């Protein structure tokens, strides 16, 4: 759980959602002992959010956010999160570059193709089926200033999200509404 993951957890917790962070090392220790210390503008808050380093303790959830940069994403991470994923779990993988699912739902000759460079062995496609993915990006600036400490610098457009095929869905609307209840804009956009 880095800066963006902690901010997402904070916002969704404020919205009344049941949230669990997956963390490790000093970050895990501090989040467990002291809670999340988050600074937004000139206001500092402490948020008590459930945290673990063992996804199997959490079980299947409605939404899984993967907020690491794309180079940090690999089959080890995909395997680690499997206990969180059920048939109806919505997945929000990192989109800091062109994602493995880029052509999914796109009409035309490339429809359904997996982006080989982003997922050479197809491990991401199998571990996180595009049918379960919502396109999601982070238009804000946040930094982790230390273990368990996050500073939000600026919110531009918040957390834009949408279905890969551009349609509207209950799962995308529900998530966007939760972000907005938590105080962050979440424009619905075609991906």
Average pLDDT, integer, range 111-126: 80
Phi, psi (deg, nearest 5) at residue 12 = -70, -35
Most confident segment among 1-5, 8-12, 69-73: 8-12
* Least confident piece of the model among 6-10, 51-55, 73-77, 122-126: 73-77
| Six token digits for residue 98 | 């062109």
Global pTM value:
0.89
Given CA atoms 93, 160, 15, 6 in this order, what sign does their dihedral have? positive
In whole angstroms, give the CA distance from residue 11 to residue 80: 24
For residue 178, is pLDDT > 90?
Answer: yes
pLDDT of residue 11 exceeding 80: yes
Q: Average pLDDT of 137-164? A: 87
Give the confidence band of 96 by pLDDT, cuts at 50, 70, 90.
low
188 pLDDT band, cuts 50/70/90, is confident
> Using CA atoms, how far apart are residues 177 and 79, in angstroms rounded to an integer?
30
Q: What is the pLDDT of residues 25-83, one digit of tens each?
A: 999 999 999 999 999 988 899 999 999 999 999 999 999 998 876 666 666 778 889 99
């Amino acid at each position: 759980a880095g800066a963006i993951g902690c901010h997402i957890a904070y916002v969704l917790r404020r919205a009344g959602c049941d949230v669990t962070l997956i963390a490790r090392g000093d970050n895990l220790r501090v989040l467990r002992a002291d809670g999340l210390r988050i600074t937004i503008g000139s206001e500092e808050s402490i948020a008590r959010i459930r945290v673990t380093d063992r996804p199997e303790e959490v079980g299947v959830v409605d939404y899984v956010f993967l907020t690491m940069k794309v180079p940090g994403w690999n089959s080890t991470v995909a395997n680690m999160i499997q206990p969180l994923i059920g048939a109806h779990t919505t997945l929000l993988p990192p989109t800091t570059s062109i994602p493995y699912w880029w052509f999914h739902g796109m009409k035309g000759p490339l429809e359904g193709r997996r982006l080989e460079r982003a997922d050479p062995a197809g491990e991401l496609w199998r571990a996180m089926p595009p049918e379960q993915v919502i396109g999601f990006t982070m238009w804000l600036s946040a930094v982790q200033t230390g273990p368990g400490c996050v500073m939000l610098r600026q919110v531009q457009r918040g957390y834009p999200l949408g279905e890969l095929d551009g349609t509207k869905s209950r799962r995308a609307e529900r998530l966007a509404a939760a972000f907005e209840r938590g105080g962050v804009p979440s424009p619905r956009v075609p991906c």
